[in-house]
């Protein structure tokens, strides 16, 4: 409980502090972050890749990691998170949009428009998808489905809101919600891979910039730039790795960052009554990952994990996969559901 509560409060404080510091300048910090990622990529391919063994294998892998890193950062910064007051997003038809695994089967229930609720449903009997309960937001007055929260920074309700990511938190400067949460996690995965490669493969050249190894520096990248990128690489990689582990743990449990905080409170309330809290969204660890990344027999191919395709989530945020027999969380009674005001009161 302490871990999830601490991480949740950390997210909230970063949101507020980042918003106070950056304000309208947030978009410029996104550009700065993009420039740093670009400089890191340039120095890696300029200095490190020429020395790699088996270049016909290692260089394509490095190119793929860099391509995913840049594209997922672009998607998470530009794809709207899923604001409640705009129509549901629809899939595109250009090169970067992946095709569903069984597109020919998307007829009948599977072919319903996203505004109907469910995009596809599990073929097994272990998972059920039910319509989300609705309530009225006390801040903006919109009627919102469950798992939707009001972002105090954007001042709008976001479907399956996770957190607001200002410039201090990976430089995204917008909310993370149902439509860009997958890109957010994939960006962190490839950022950790990229910084790990830079750190592991680039240390001989770091020794050279420090003058510990006598050799000519015959590269386009200045030694000072390489030194800066190499120092930033492990620091940023470790910080993002810790954040990635937290998010992967939340995905495995079928919850967002906000819900992880909620569920710890619900567990405590249920335990006081001698009951057990049951997260109705938790359909099993691997199934939770399958639904989050929308891969599997009814979703998209696994290749969408190694190529930065755009894909649709399995739902439009108005219906959710649940444990059989649980249309609501177990151990939570009417009136005990936390609201966005409760989060703000606890932080203040």
For the cut 80, the answer to whether the pLDDT of residue 202 exceeds it is yes
Return all residues near 328 (Cβ < 8 A) that are at least 6 apart: 133, 280
Residue with tokens 């190529």: 307
Average pLDDT of 237-266? 91
DSSP 8-state class, residue 144:
E
Q: Percentage of residues in the chain with pLDDT exceeding 90?
A: 52
Least confident of 119-123, 151-155, 192-196: 119-123
- What phi-psi label fits residue 302: left (phi over 0), alpha (psi between -120 and 50 degrees) or beta? alpha
Of the candidates 325, 342, 201, 218, the one whose C-alpha atom is nearest the C-alpha of residue 269 is 342
Mean pLDDT estimate for the chain: 83
Q: Between 50 and 10, whose confidence is greater?
A: 50
Tokens for 329? 């969380």
Yes or no: say if 175 and 154 are a contact pair by the CB < 8 Å rule: yes
**Measured CA angle at 251 (ends 247, 253), to 5 deg:** 115
Residues 215-248 have pLDDT tens digits of 789 999 999 999 999 999 999 999 999 999 999 9
Yes or no: say if 13 and 21 are a contact pair by the CB < 8 Å rule: no
Longest dimension (CA), the chain: 72
Going 128 to 134 to 138 to 141, the CA torsion angle's sign is positive
Going 291 to 251 to 34 to 24, the CA torsion angle's sign is positive
Give the ranges where 23-54 is alpha helix by DSSP (H): 26-43
> Would you list the domain boundaries of the chain?
2-347
Task: Provide the whole-model pTM.
Answer: 0.86
Residues 311-331 have pLDDT tens digits of 999 999 999 999 888 888 888
Q: What is the predicted pLDDT for the residue at 63?
A: 97
Residues 270-301 have pLDDT tens digits of 888 889 999 999 999 999 999 999 997 778 99
Of the candidates 47, 37, 16, 39, the one whose C-alpha atom is nearest the C-alpha of residue 215 is 47
For the cut 50, the answer to whether the pLDDT of residue 168 exceeds it is no
Q: What is the predicted pLDDT for the residue at 110?
A: 41
Question: What confidence category does residue 203 fall into, taking pLDDT thresholds of 50, 70 and 90?
Answer: very high
């Amino acid at each position: 409980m302490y871990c999830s509560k601490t991480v949740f409060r950390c997210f909230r404080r970063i949101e507020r502090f980042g918003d106070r510091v950056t304000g309208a300048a947030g978009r410029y910090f996104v550009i700065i972050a993009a420039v740093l990622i670009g400089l890191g990529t340039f120095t890696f391919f300029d200095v490190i890749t020429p020395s790699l063994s088996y270049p016909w294998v290692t260089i394509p892998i490095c190119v793929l990691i860099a391509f995913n890193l840049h594209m997922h950062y672009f998607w998470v910064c530009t794809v709207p998170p899923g604001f409640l007051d705009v129509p549901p997003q629809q899939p595109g038809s250009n090169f970067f949009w992946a095709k569903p695994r069984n597109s020919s089967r998307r007829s009948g229930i599977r072919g319903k428009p996203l505004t109907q609720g469910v995009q596809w449903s599990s073929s097994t009997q272990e998972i059920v998808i039910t319509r989300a309960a609705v309530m009225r937001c006390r801040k903006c007055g919109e009627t919102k489905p469950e798992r939707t929260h009001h972002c105090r920074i954007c001042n709008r309700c976001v479907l399956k809101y996770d957190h607001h990511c200002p410039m201090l938190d990976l430089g995204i400067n917008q909310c993370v919600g149902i439509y860009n949460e997958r890109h957010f996690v994939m960006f962190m995965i490839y950022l950790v891979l990229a910084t790990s490669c830079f750190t592991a493969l680039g240390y001989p050249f770091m020794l050279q910039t420090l003058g510990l190894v006598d050799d000519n520096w015959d590269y386009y990248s200045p030694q000072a730039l390489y030194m800066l990128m190499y120092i930033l690489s492990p620091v940023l990689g470790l910080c993002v790795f810790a954040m990635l582990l937290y998010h992967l743990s939340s995905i495995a449990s079928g919850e967002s960052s906000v819900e992880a905080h909620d569920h710890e409170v619900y567990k405590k309330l249920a335990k006081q009554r001698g009951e057990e809290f049951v997260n109705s969204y938790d359909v099993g660890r691997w199934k939770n990952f399958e639904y989050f990344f929308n891969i599997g027999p009814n979703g998209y191919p696994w290749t969408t994990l190694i190529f930065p395709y755009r894909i649709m989530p399995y739902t439009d945020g108005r219906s959710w996969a649940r444990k059989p027999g649980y249309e609501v969380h177990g151990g939570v009674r009417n009136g005990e559901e936390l609201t966005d005001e409760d989060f703000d009161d606890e932080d203040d």
